[in-house]
Structure formats: structure tokens, C-alpha cells
Amino acid sequence: MLLNKEVEATAAIDLSHLQSTPAASGFISDVKDKVKEMRRLELAMISAEAAFKMAKETYEQYKATVVIASFVSAGIEQIQDDNGNFVKLESKYYCNPNKNDSDRLVISNWLKANGGEHLLKHEGKVSADQYDRLKDAGIPFADAIDINTNSLKAHLLDILGYKKGCMQKIALTDIPECVHFTIMQEVVSN
């Protein structure tokens, strides 16, 4: 109870006289000036961030289109700039095969036909009511095929002839669409 009375007594103290003194007015004015400057700096920061974002988008777009097209048109993969730094065109390879059962079967059959059967990871699955009968031969089960994406990409690079010392065995168009194998050209500088 004593604590509540102390809080009530403190809350009841009139502090309005502090705002009317010249010193208090100067402090409040100074704080308002600081807040005003903070808001000005905040707007400058927001403007600079927007300008940076726009400049970055312009740079990335120019690098990804104009510079790559220039390298390809000139038939070169690397050039030295005026500062002595090398800028080169690199190919990046991406592979993101579909994971649904029907596409896995397509990919599995395609890999078997193109020397990639060793990439397939087999795992047998049976229904719960058939589990006890697994010991008997001839029990039907589903072959759950899994493929390591990095191994698949490495295999594709081999049979496409993109790795040094490898001969091209297939064309890019021979790869099933569900494999989602793509090649991206990228400008890299050091």
C-alpha cells in the first residue's frame, strides 16, 4: 500500500513549471532541432538507398546483357581492362530435376539409356500389410528411385562434353525437360 501512495504522490506533482523556464525551453528547442536533423538524415538515407538500388539494378542488367553479348559477339572469353584486371565470361550450370514419381521414372529411364544408371539410388517400399511377407519372393513393392542432383549435373557435363577431356555423347536437346538443366553465362571480374 505504501508503494501505491508514493506512486500517486509522484504522479500528482505538477512539473509544468519546468517547461516555462528559459532553460527548459532551450532544451526542448534543442531536442526538436536534433529530431528535425535526424528526419533530414533519414530522408537522405532513404534517397541514397533508392539511388543505390537503382544503380545496382542498372549495373546488373548491363553486365548480364550488354557485356555478355559483347563477349559472345567478339568470340572471346576473357579481356584485361584498363586497370589491369581480368574480366571473363564463365558458364554456370544448373540442374533442378522434378521430384514427382512420374518424372523420376522418366529421368531414371533416360539415365539408364545414357550411361548414368550408377547415379540411381534404389530404395524398396512396401505397404504396411505386406511388410511381414517381404521374406517371400515375388512380393510386389515400389522401387523408390532417388537421384543426387550434383551427381546428375556432373554426369550431364561429362556426356555433353563440357568437361575438359570429355567427348560429347549427347546434345543438350536430348536431355528430358523434367531435368531442368540450364546454362547461364556470367561475367566475372577479379
List, for residues 68-92, the tens digit of each pLDDT value: 999 999 999 999 999 999 999 999 9
pLDDT in tens, 121-137: 877 666 666 666 665 65
Residue 127 contacts residue 133 (beta carbons within 8 Å): no
Strand (E) or helix (H) holding 149: helix 149-160
Q: What are 60's three cell numbers?
A: 546488373
pTM score of the predicted model: 0.57
Confidence at residue 8, expressed as pLDDT on a 0 to 100 scale:
56
| CA dihedral angle for residue 61, residue 63, residue 65, residue 66, rounded to 10 degrees | 120
Q: What amino acid occupies position 135?
A: K
> Is the pLDDT reported for residue 5 higher than 60?
no
Residue type, 1: M
In the chain, count H helices and then E strands: 6, 5
Residue 148's pLDDT band (cuts 50, 70, 90): confident
